[in-house]
Amino acid sequence: PNPNPNPDPDPNPKNDFKNIFNCSKYIIKQVKATTITIALKLKMILHFFILNFFSHMYNVKFF
């Protein structure tokens, strides 16, 4: 007997959707965390450069 080329569809298609949803939620969380980390690093670098710039301009030492 030849196997059914079209197996029954998933009895619970919502399950699949839930998995995809959870996956994308996780990915979004990861992306947000990475973005925040990068933003904080950039902010720190910018602050450092700005403070250095002003300290040179006004000859004030912040560090």
User: Does residue 44 sit within a domain?
Assistant: yes
What total number of domains does the chain contain?
1
Q: Can you give the residue range of the structural domain that contains 40? A: 15-63
Q: Which residues of the chain have pLDDT under 50?
A: 63
Residue 6 within a domain: no
Residue 26 lies in a domain: yes
DSSP letters, 1-63, are -PPPSSPPPPS-HHHHHHHHHHHHHHHHHHHHHHHHHHHHHHHHHHHHHHHHHHHHHHT----
Residue 56, pLDDT score: 73
Asked if residue 7 belongs to a domain, the reply is no
pLDDT for 32 = 94
pTM above 0.85, yes or no: no
- Does residue 63 form part of some domain? yes
In a domain, 3, yes or no: no
